[in-house]
């Protein structure tokens, strides 16, 4: 029977410690990846607004479709959570001066230029 020396024992504990830390980090990452879509879905709401203006902001090679309304500013982006990949089409459908009922999700976070995301719109006939 071989008895581990003090150095070997320390080395084994260190390896076990790294493995535990890696496991904890992996669990935290997976939890975050699961919580974000759930939180986004939980923030879903329906709003009514009249479009005052629209703009496309370019950030490096990405475009951000912004819709300025009488009820705040919203963006239209593709969404993995909603399996929607037609942001350009939805942006083109929205007309300035028209009133819409929209399904939106997310939060307005000014410090990172984050806006609620428009998922779908239905024109409101007045």
44-123 fold: OB fold (Dihydrolipoamide Acetyltransferase, E2P) (2.40.50)
- For residue 92, count other CB atoms closer than 10 A to its CB: 12
3-state secondary structure of 87: helix
pLDDT at position 3, please?
Answer: 56
Cα separation of 108 and 75, whole Å?
10
Residue 118: which pLDDT band, with cuts at 50, 70 and 90?
very high
Cα separation of 26 and 23, whole Å?
5
pLDDT at position 70, please?
Answer: 96
Residue 83 · residue 111 · CB < 8 Å: no
Cα separation of 76 and 74, whole Å?
7
Decide which of 5 and 43 is more confident. 43
Q: What's the pTM value of the predicted model, to 2 decimals?
A: 0.71
Partners of residue 100 on adjacent β-strands: 49, 123
Residue ranges per structural domain of the chain = 1-42, 44-123
pLDDT above 60 for 14: no
List, for residues 68-111, the tens digit of each pLDDT value. Answer: 999 999 999 988 878 888 999 999 999 999 999 999 998 888 89
Residue 18: which pLDDT band, with cuts at 50, 70 and 90?
low
List, for residues 27-54, the tens digit of each pLDDT value. Answer: 888 888 888 777 777 888 999 999 999 9
Helix or strand (DSSP H, E) at 98 = none
**CA distance readout (Å), 69 to 65, 78, 120:** 13, 20, 15
């Amino acid at each position: 029977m071989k008895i581990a020396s003090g150095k070997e024992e320390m080395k084994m504990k260190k390896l076990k410690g790294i493995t535990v830390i890696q496991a904890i980090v992996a669990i935290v990452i997976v939890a975050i990846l699961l919580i974000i879509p759930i939180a986004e879905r939980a923030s879903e709401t329906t709003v009514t607004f009249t479009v005052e203006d629209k703009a496309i902001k370019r950030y490096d090679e990405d475009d951000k479709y912004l819709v300025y309304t009488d009820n705040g500013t919203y963006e239209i982006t593709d969404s993995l959570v909603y399996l929607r990949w037609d942001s350009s089409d939805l942006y083109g459908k929205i007309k300035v001066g028209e009133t819409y009922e929209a399904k939106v999700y997310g939060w307005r976070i000014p410090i990172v230029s984050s806006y609620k995301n428009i998922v779908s719109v239905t024109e409101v006939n007045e």
